[in-house]
Amino acid sequence: MQGDEPVPPEVVNAVFHGVSVSDAAAILVVERVGGTARVTWSNGRAVDFLGYGLEDLRSAPFEQLLPSLGRSELKLLLRRERAVRMTLPVRLASGATLECIVSAVPAPVGRRWTVRLISTANEQERALRATADAHERRFSTLTERSPVPTLLSEQGMRLAHVNDAFCALVGRQAEQLLGTGWMTTVHPDDLDTVIEQAAVVLDGGEGEAQARLVREDGAVRTTVIRFSHLFTPGVGAGFVGTIEDITERLAFEARLAHQANHDPLTGLPNRTLLAEYVAARFLPGHSDLACIFLDLDNFKVVNDSLGHAAGDELLVELAARLRETVRPGDLVARFGGDEFVVVCEHVDEADAVALAERVGEALRQPVRLGGVDFRPAASVGVTVQTPEHAAAEELVRDCDIAMYQAKAGGKNRITVLDQDARAQARDKLRLVADLRDAIERRDVTLMYQPIFDTVEGTAVSVESLARWVHPERGPISPATFVPLAEESGLVGGLGLLVLDETCRQLAAWDAQLGPAAPERANVNVSALQLDPNLPGQVASALHRHDLLPARLSIELTESALMTDPAAAREVLLQLRDLGVQVSIDDFGTGYSSLAYLRHLPVDCLKVDRSFVAELADGHSEITSAVIALARNLGLCTVAEGVETLEQAQQLAELGATFLQGFGLAAPLDGASTGDWFAAQHDSLDPAGPALPSRPATAATPARPATPATPTPEPT
């Protein structure tokens, strides 16, 4: 509208001309005369569009063009006060009808309307609709046949569409699921989460929910529903939900988790689960948690005599009894082979002991295994949490200690861990930790004890002896720390330290003393080191310090060699091939088979100090027998623990090759040993020293002051 300002006639003419020749829209002018509306004018396009001749168009009532309008309804279209737009079928001259948008605009005065007809089915629209239909069809085909259960929400949680896969998943028909019907399939406990996530997605976010769907037949499927936002312009927001059935996957994961946490034989929780269980319930400072540790007595006997199947049967039976005996809520776990742990909450010591007694009683009932009645028994350790327990694992460890006390106390009994035992165990743990640090920092040092040649009467070699001075506890005896290292897996590191440090020291003496340096150093090797790695470790230590193999002698105890003589022989052969000497330490104290001894590639036997000590009492039988034996096998001998010159003399006469002992020379640190050997060298008669008659001569002038620290025993 241009407002009230009159439009110049030339503009009116221009517009009229434009309309009359336009081929964009069919325009008619309709006039109501005497109650009948007739077409009084039309443009060319209208004539073409409708197919009537101009005269036919003008002569017929306008309503004939609009067959769907009843007579009185024409006024709905031809309104005087406003323009109206309707979608109506229009009758064409051919007799066909064509749906059109019919717009009628009333003229400002009089009873005339300009009517515009536009087919709704124009080409562009048809093309658009076809595309849209194709999209819709593709989408519905895609979801309909998709194996992925799919929901399509139209509004809120109301579904407009579910596919066959979803119907199959919940075992219902689509009609039951549309609208909010599908919500009844969601497990009531999960429905809130589902709605919450759907709400997030409807609001434009992203969401997924794990939800159980309840099938018509009552079966429950666990699923993940992933929602995507769906916006339709002019309509609003909905969502597409795709559902993944994870029931089988979860079951599989649960099985795996169960397997990881349970013992397959007895079905009991295993050590891993036990640790998690105790940790989850452990509150430092509280004292209502208790552990009962059970170790079957003589289980090995069952396994060895009746076979492993019978052993397994016994374990399964006892596991069942344990489960039946404990209180509801107590945990029974299989800790290891024949070890079980019961964890109880809200108990004091009396309760825990009472339960342990009940459990012990239940276990003692006879079991028939392979036709034999077997009466099981267990050593039982009980620990109740105390304020001293700082962590969950300490509780389990303490009841393990208590169980060992029960076992040590004579089996088939219950022991409650007392403070002393706990303190001892803790002390040992701390010492292990300190030893580990000491080895890492090379705080374990070496002392060297000279070894004398009975022929020359001079010291020719040394034995390396490990020494550990604890920063707080002072010197720790090798008799304490070597077994500790063996128990706690530190012996490998300790052995390597001794080997490397000895080689380093030999090289240092070579540099310092030249020909006066000790010819050889004896290094003790633990039974636990006697494995195929040993020759390589020895070789690399020698190589590292540029030493000939003959400079080392490896000392092994008799018992170490006899644990697995065949394997020991292999290792010894390799050592010998390397060119390293091998000695058997403490010879005569074990139960060596002489037959084995003959086959072992050994160079030297060390006569144990206990036999040497007997010389003073006039008993020289064993010493002389050992020396004779060695000589007959072509081996040299080292007599240990020589305290007096008399003993030295006697041993030389018996034919011992070498002598070692406090009476001749005490162990010294590396530097002092160097000085000692230098002094010995300087004092030697160029013509050569005297023989056994004066071993002390060689030792005495050169013997430095006794070390301030107590002498370590050989490692």
Count of CB atoms within 10 A of residue 614's CB? 14
Give me the 444-463 binding string for other proteins, x by CB under 8 A, dash otherwise: --------------------
Nearer to other proteins (CB atom), residue 193 or residue 480: 193
CA distance 715 to 707: 18
Q: Identify which range of 79-87, 542-550, 591-599, 647-655 contacts other proteins by CB under 8 A.
A: 79-87
CB 433 within 8 A of CB 445: no
Give yes or no for residue 79 binding other proteins (CB under 8 A). yes
CA distance 653 to 62: 152
Q: How far is the CB of 415 from other proteins (least distance, A)?
A: 60
Count Cα atoms within 13 angstroms, Cβ side, for 36: 9
Give yes or no for residue 81 binding other proteins (CB under 8 A). yes
Give yes or no for residue 158 binding other proteins (CB under 8 A). yes
Nearer to other proteins (CB atom), residue 30 or residue 476: 30
Beta bridge partners of 446: 466
Q: What residues between 96 and 155 interact with other proteins by CB under 8 A?
A: 154-155
Nearer to other proteins (CB atom), residue 195 or residue 320: 195
Q: How far is the CB of 235 from other proteins (least distance, A)?
A: 6
Residue 362: alpha-carbon gap to chain centroid: 36
| Contact pick of 59, 64, 87, 593 for other proteins (by CB under 8 A) | 87
Nearer to other proteins (CB atom), residue 127 or residue 390: 127
| Contact pick of 86, 214, 240, 421 for other proteins (by CB under 8 A) | 86
Q: How far is the CB of 75 from other proteins (least distance, A)?
A: 6
Beta bridge partners of 236: 232
| Contact pick of 11, 59, 64, 80 for other proteins (by CB under 8 A) | 80
Planar angle of CA 159, 163, 167, nearest 5 degrees? 90
Nearer to other proteins (CB atom), residue 82 or residue 598: 82
Q: What residues between 167 and 206 interact with other proteins by CB under 8 A?
A: 174-175, 178-180, 183, 191-192, 195-196, 199, 202-203
CB 495 within 8 A of CB 506: no
Nearer to other proteins (CB atom), residue 230 or residue 690: 230
Size of the site for other proteins (CB under 8 A): 39
Do the bridges between strand 236-245 and strand 26-33 make them parallel or antiparallel, or are there none, so unpaired? unpaired
Q: Identify which range of 44-52, 206-214, 227-235, 276-284 contacts other proteins by CB under 8 A.
A: 227-235
Q: How far is the CB of 91 from other proteins (least distance, A)?
A: 15
Direct distance between the N- and C-terminal alpha carbons of the chain, in angstroms, rounded to an integer: 115
Nearer to other proteins (CB atom), residue 47 or residue 84: 84
CA 412, 413, 414, 420 dihedral sign is negative
Do the bridges between strand 289-296 and strand 378-384 make them parallel or antiparallel, or are there none, so unpaired? antiparallel
For the record, the structure tokens of 53 come out as: 């001749």
CB 295 within 8 A of CB 339: yes
Do the bridges between strand 658-659 and strand 636-639 make them parallel or antiparallel, or are there none, so unpaired? parallel
Nearer to other proteins (CB atom), residue 70 or residue 474: 70
CA distance 406 to 295: 10
Residue 203 sits at φ, ψ, to 5 deg, of -85, 5
Binding positions for other proteins, rule: CB under 8 A = 68, 70, 72-73, 75-76, 79-82, 84-87, 154-158, 160-161, 174-175, 178-180, 183, 191-192, 195-196, 199, 202-203, 233-237
